[in-house]
């Protein structure tokens, strides 16, 4: 363990749109924020090839380029951006304690959690290949559906979110094929009825993905297997969407913060406050509804303002 304990006025955990926006506001308020980038600097957007729905970029921008610009903007106001990740916290007392890489101890007056959530994928080698290439695999229909206008796409999932995303895609795409592993939806009846009644959505029950097909650069189809008959089928498609849920990156906080059944941090409605005074949350670590870069940035602003007001009240 480090012999020297660092004291920080505002510690920001995470480096996506929420974390960097919190840093910009905190730095401009003279809170001298320290930001740790975590295991995935830039967050989920670094896996997004094109971002066209974030205000201020009329020509669009790649996810990694956008994160570099946000980091530069935060550093312009003297945010201390650091490599490393928080491995342990102790919010049990009046001092908020965190440990970086299990070696460095920091005592914080305020903490802004912006650790985000990770999309769940099937784990197929072919799926991960085209995900990394940016050639047709996505976990966000709202983010990427626009690129598949007039195309045929496949979506995997059986819950409310997958039905919602399939319905969204049906408005843009020529055909949407839904792959449901069981013989029924997990979604609510109203959501299931919505996709069943949409003309250009075909639902394949008892069906699992065997392989994402492609030409080495982009997706060209999906090979599926009927888990009852064993029959294999190749479905032509240029897009493969995975809608089987997200996992919030909040495990290290579970002993101190109130989480919902999935692991999302529960905030006080209308604010970024958690159940611990001086600890705030922003972005996808608390948001399981919208999960957009622009909404994450908005809550990052809220968290910095809430932290500033908390510090002012302590004086």
Domains and CATH numbers, the chain: 6-118+246-314 (3.50.50.60), 121-242 (3.50.50.60)
pLDDT tens for each residue of the chain, 315 residues long: 456 899 999 999 999 999 999 999 999 999 999 999 987 776 777 766 678 889 999 999 988 899 999 999 999 999 999 999 999 999 999 899 999 998 899 999 999 999 999 889 999 999 999 998 988 999 999 889 999 999 999 999 999 989 999 999 999 999 999 999 999 999 999 999 999 999 999 999 999 999 999 999 999 999 999 999 999 999 999 999 999 988 999 999 999 999 999 999 999 999 999 999 999 999 999 998 888 999 999 999 999 999 999 999 998
Global pTM?
0.83
Q: Work out the angle between the directed axes of helices 293-314 and 17-28 (0-180°, nearest 10).
A: 40
| Residue 50 near residue 310, CB atoms below 8 Å | no
Element containing residue 298 per DSSP (H, E): helix 293-314
For the annotated catalytic residues, the residue numbers are 140, 143-144
Q: Position of tokens 């932290």? A: 307
């Amino acid at each position: 363990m480090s012999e020297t304990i660092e004291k920080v006025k505002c510690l920001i955990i995470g480096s996506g749109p929420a974390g960097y926006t919190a840093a910009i506001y905190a730095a401009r308020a003279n809170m001298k924020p320290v930001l740790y980038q975590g295991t995935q600097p830039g967050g989920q957007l670094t896996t997004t090839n094109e971002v066209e729905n974030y205000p201020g970029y009329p020509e669009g921008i790649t996810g990694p380029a956008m994160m570099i610009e946000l980091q530069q903007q935060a550093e312009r106001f003297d945010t201390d951006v650091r490599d490393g990740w928080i491995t342990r916290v102790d919010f049990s007392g009046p001092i908020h304690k965190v440990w970086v890489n299990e070696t460095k101890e920091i005592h914080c007056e305020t903490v802004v959690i912006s650790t985000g959530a990770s999309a769940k994928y099937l784990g197929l080698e072919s799926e991960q290949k085209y995900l990394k290439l940016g050639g047709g695999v996505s976990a966000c229909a709202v983010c990427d559906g626009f690129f598949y206008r007039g195309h045929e796409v496949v979506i995997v999932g059986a819950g409310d979110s997958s039905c919602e995303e399939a319905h969204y895609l049906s408005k843009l795409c020529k055909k949407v094929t839904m792959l449901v592993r069981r013989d029924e939806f997990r979604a609510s009846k109203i959501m299931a009825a919505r996709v069943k009644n949409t003309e250009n959505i075909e639902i394949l029950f008892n069906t699992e993905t065997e392989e994402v097909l492609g030409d080495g650069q982009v997706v060209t189809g999906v090979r599926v297997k009927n888990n009852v008959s064993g029959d294999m089928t190749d479905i032509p498609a240029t897009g493969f969407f995975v809608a089987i849920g997200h996992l919030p990156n909040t495990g290290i906080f579970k002993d101190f913060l109130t989480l919902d059944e999935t692991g999302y941090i529960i905030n006080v409605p209308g604010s970024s406050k958690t159940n611990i005074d001086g600890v705030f949350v922003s972005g996808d670590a608390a948001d399981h509804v919208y999960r957009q870069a622009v909404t994450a940035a908005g809550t990052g602003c809220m968290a910095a303002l809430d932290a500033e007001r908390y510090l002012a009240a302590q004086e």
